[in-house]
Structure 1
Amino acid sequence: MGSGNGIYSEGEFNLDAKWLVDPNQLLVGPKIGEGAHAKVYKGQYKNQTVAIKVIHRGETPEEIAKREARFAREVAMLSRVQHKNLVKFIGACKVPVKAVMVIVTELLMGGTLRRYLLDLRPSCLDMRVAVGFALDIARAMECLHSHGIIHRDLKPENLILTADHKTVKLADFGLAREESLTEMMTAETGTYRWMAPELYSTVTLRHGEKKHYNHKVDAYSFAIVLWELIHNKLPFEGMSNLQAAYAAAFKNVRPNAENLPEDLGLIVTSCWREDPNTRPNFSEIIQMLLHYLSTISTPEPVIPPRIYASENTVFTPESPGTSSLMAARHDSGETPTSNIEDNSVGFFSCFRHCY
C-alpha cells in the first residue's frame, strides 16, 4: 500500500515507492537457481530481462518472522547502495496471495565465480585476471563498508560474472547487517569454510547467541577468496566445512600461502590474521592490489575460455546458498516455466506454472 510520503510499508518492510515492483508487470520465466528458502527465475520486468528471487514466508510464526526480517534487511541494504561491482537492485514487493516475497535484480549471464573456477580446473586463472577479479571484489566491499554494512557471506557462490567474464559483481545480501559499535550481533552467519574465526567460534554456541565482531570478518573471507582465485583449489581441501571451521578457529590453521608471490602473500596473510584489529581495511587492500598489479607484466589480460564440464563431473558438495541464485545457467536444461515474451501474462498467471 502507498502512503503520502512515498514510502511503502507493510510490517517491517519499508521501501521507498520508487523501488516498489508492480507484480502484475513481472513475467516469470525458467527457474535458474534454488536455495533452502528461495527460488530464482529468469524473467522480465517492464521489458527488461531480470533475475526474480522468490522467498517463501515459511509455515510457523517463528519462520515467518525470521524470513520477513531477513527479506526486509536485504531489501534495505540493496536499496541503499549502488556500485558497478554490486548486482544492481531493481525493486521488491510482497505478494500476500502467494505468501511470498520478491526481490528483482539485474540478470548477469556469466554465472557464479565458483562455477567459472570449477569449469576452468585444473588450470588456473592468469594472475592479472585473478588480481583484477580481486580488485572488483575489494571495491564492492569498500563500498559496503563505507555505508556501515557488513556482508558476512563473501564466497565464490555470491560473486557473479558478467557475460564477457571480465567483471565480477557481489550478490546476496541475505546475511548482511548494519555495523554498530554498541549492538552485538547474532551468530547467524555464512558458509563456514570462508567465515572468519570469530564467527566460527559461534558454531558451538546456543542458537541466537550474541557475539561481538566487526567489518573485519569480511577481510578474512576476502583472503580465502583471493587464495582460491590464485590457486583455483578449494580452501581447506580434504576437510568438511565444519572441520575447516574448527581448524581455523581453534588451531589457527590457514591454507598454504608459502608459494605466493611476496606482495600477494602479504595481502592474503594480513587479511586472515587471527586478530581482526590487525587486518587491513578494504581501502588498504585495494592499494596493495594495485601496487602488485603495477609490478607484474602489462600485456592485456587473457580471459580463459569457458570450459563446460561434462554431465558426469563430480563437484565438491558445498551449500549453494541463495547467492548463486542470481546467476543464469546456460546448461541447466530447464524447460521454461512460462513464456516471458508474452507481455499479456503477468506475475500471478506465471506463478500458476511455477508452483
Structure 2
Amino acid sequence: RLSGGADPRRYQGSQDFEHGKISYIDEIKTLYQFENVQGIVQIFTHFQENNTAYLVMEYLDGCNLKAYVKSHGGRLDPPLAGNYIVKAARALQQVHAGHILHRDISPENIYILLGGTEIKLIDFGAARKCVEDSEQGNSVLLKPGFAPPEQYSKKGNQNTWTDVYALAATLYYIVSGKVPQDSLSR
C-alpha cells in the first residue's frame, strides 16, 4: 500500500498484455460502426501481427482541444467555445444513437483539425455499450474534473448523461481556462 491509501496493481506480464490487446480490439470494433460519421475519427483497417494489434486510421492534422485552448491564451471566447461544443455534441449524438457511451469526453479527446473549423472525437478506449440497466458493473475510468459522480463507482448508473456531463465540464474548461472541481468534491 502506498501513502495516501493507494493500492498499486501488480503487473501480470503477458496476462495484462493480452487483456490490453483485447480491449484495444474492442475499441477498434466500436469505431467501425461510425464509418463516415462526421466528427468521429475514421478507421481504415486493423490487423494483428507480431502478437499485437494495429489500427490504421485517418491522419488528423491539428491538436487536441486542451492544446488549442492553451495556444489561444488559456481560454476561448464563448461563441467559439460554443461552436466546438455544438460540433462535439452532434458527433456524440451519433455515438449515443449507436448505443455507445464514450465515457472519456474531455479537452484531450476532442481534436481540432488544422484551420480550426472542424473537430473529431477521439479515444474510444473507455467506450462501452449503453444498456437499459447500466448498473451492471462498470470499469472505473475517469478524468477528475470531467467525470460525473456515477463514474467513480463500478455500480454507478452510467448512461448518455455521463457523456453530457463531461461535455458540459469541457465547455466550462474552455471558457474559464480552469479544470472544473471534481464532481465528488462539490
The answer to whether the 8 A contact 1:73-1:177 is kept is no
Give me the whole-angstrom Cα distance separating, in 2, the residues matched to 1:66 and 1:182.
25
SS at match of 2:30: helix
TM-score under structure 1 normalisation?
Answer: 0.46
Matched, 1:59 2:22: no
The answer to whether the 8 A contact 1:156-1:225 is kept is yes
Q: How many residues align?
A: 173
Which position in structure 1 is the counterpart of 2:122? Answer: 171
**Structure 1 position 87, deviation (Å):** 0.9
Matched, 1:235 2:186: no
SS at match of 1:164: coil
Q: Which amino acid aligns with 2:143?
A: T
Alpha-carbon deviations, 1:132-174, whole Å to 9, x = none?
1011110011000001000000001111111111111100111
**Structure 1 position 229, deviation (Å):** 2.1
> How well do the aligned residues superpose, as a CA RMSD in angstroms?
1.8
Which position in structure 1 is the counterpart of 2:32? Answer: 79
TM-score under structure 2 normalisation?
Answer: 0.84
The answer to whether the 8 A contact 2:21-2:52 is kept is no
Q: Which amino acid aligns with 1:219?
A: V
The answer to whether the 8 A contact 2:34-2:42 is kept is no
Q: Which amino acid aligns with 1:190?
A: L
Which position in structure 2 is the counterpart of 1:112? Answer: 64
Q: Which amino acid aligns with 1:109?
A: D
Give me the whole-angstrom Cα distance separating, in 2, the residues matched to 1:118 and 1:94.
37
Matched, 1:190 2:135: no
Alpha-carbon deviations, 1:279-312, whole Å to 9, x = none?
xxxxxxxxxxxxxxxxxxxxxxxxxxxxxxxxxx
**Structure 1 position 212, deviation (Å):** 3.4
**Structure 1 position 194, deviation (Å):** 0.8
Give me the whole-angstrom Cα distance separating, in 2, the residues matched to 1:190 and 1:212.
14
Which position in structure 2 is the counterpart of 1:148? Answer: 99
Larger RCO, structures 1/2 (Cα 8 Å, 6+ apart)? 1
Identical pairs, percent = 24
Give me the whole-angstrom Cα distance separating, in 2, the residues matched to 1:210 and 1:104.
34
Match of 1:223 among 168, 175, 182: 168
SS at match of 2:62: coil
The answer to whether the 8 A contact 1:154-1:218 is kept is yes
Give me the whole-angstrom Cα distance separating, in 1, the residues matched to 2:77 and 2:170.
16
The answer to whether the 8 A contact 1:109-1:162 is kept is yes
Segments of 5+ residues of structure 2 without an aligned counterpart are 1-11
Which position in structure 2 is the counterpart of 1:212? Answer: 157
Q: How does 1:1-355 map to 2 (within 5 A)?
A: 59-61=13-15, 63-82=16-35, 83-95=37-49, 97=50, 99-122=51-74, 124-182=75-133, 184-200=136-152, 202=153, 209-236=154-181, 244=182, 248-249=183-184, 251=185, 253=186
> Aligned in 2, Cα 1:92/1:193: closer, same or farther, shift over 3 Å?
same
Alpha-carbon deviations, 1:207-263, whole Å to 9, x = none?
xx5443222110110110011122233323xxxxxxx2xxx22x4x1xxxxxxxxxx
Give me the whole-angstrom Cα distance separating, in 2, the residues matched to 1:69 and 1:188.
18
The answer to whether the 8 A contact 2:142-2:151 is kept is no
Give me the whole-angstrom Cα distance separating, in 2, the residues matched to 1:192 and 1:91.
33
The answer to whether the 8 A contact 1:88-1:106 is kept is yes
Alpha-carbon deviations, 1:259-283, whole Å to 9, x = none?
xxxxxxxxxxxxxxxxxxxxxxxxx
Give me the whole-angstrom Cα distance separating, in 1, the residues matched to 2:86 and 2:67.
19
Q: Which amino acid aligns with 1:71?
A: Y
**Structure 1 position 65, deviation (Å):** 3.6
Alpha-carbon deviations, 1:58-117, whole Å to 9, x = none?
8332x134212311220111000131111111121111x2x3211121111111111111
Moved segments of 4+, more than 4 Å: none
